[in-house]
C-alpha cells in the first residue's frame, strides 16, 4: 500500500525537489504542481501531487502520528 504524505519542499532543481519529512529528506518529482521552496506538498509514489498550506500539512501529520502511536489501531 502506498500513502500520500505531506512534506516541506526545501530545494528544487529542475523537476526534482528535496522534500523534508521531518528527520528524512527525499527527492520527489515536482513537475505536476507549481512548487516553490518553503511550500508543503503531498507526495505519493515519488511525485508531488498537491500543494497544501502549512496548517493543513501539520494537522495531517498530527493525525498520522496519532494513528501510528495508537495501540488500538487495526489495519486491514
pLDDT in tens, 3-60: 789 999 999 999 999 999 988 999 999 999 999 999 999 999 999 999 999 999 999 9
Which uninterrupted H or E stretch holds 40? strand 40-44
Taking alpha carbons only, the member of 7, 63, 64 closest to residue 38 is 7
DSSP conformation letters of 42-68: EEETTEEEEEE-HHHHHHHHHHHHHHH
Distance CA 35, CA 69 (A): 31
The answer, as to whether pTM is greater than 0.95, is no
In CATH terms, 5-69 corresponds, of 3.40.50.300, 2.30.30.140, 3.40.50.720, 2.30.40.10, to 2.30.30.140
Amino acid at each position: 500500500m502506498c500513502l500520500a504524505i505531506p512534506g516541506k519542499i526545501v530545494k528544487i532543481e529542475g523537476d526534482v525537489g528535496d522534500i523534508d519529512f521531518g528527520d528524512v529528506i527525499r527527492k520527489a518529482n515536482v513537475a505536476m504542481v507549481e512548487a516553490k521552496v518553503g511550500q508543503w506538498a503531498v507526495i505519493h509514489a515519488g511525485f508531488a501531487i498537491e500543494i497544501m498550506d502549512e496548517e493543513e500539512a501539520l494537522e495531517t501529520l498530527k493525525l498520522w502520528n496519532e494513528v501510528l502511536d495508537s495501540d488500538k489501531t487495526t489495519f486491514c
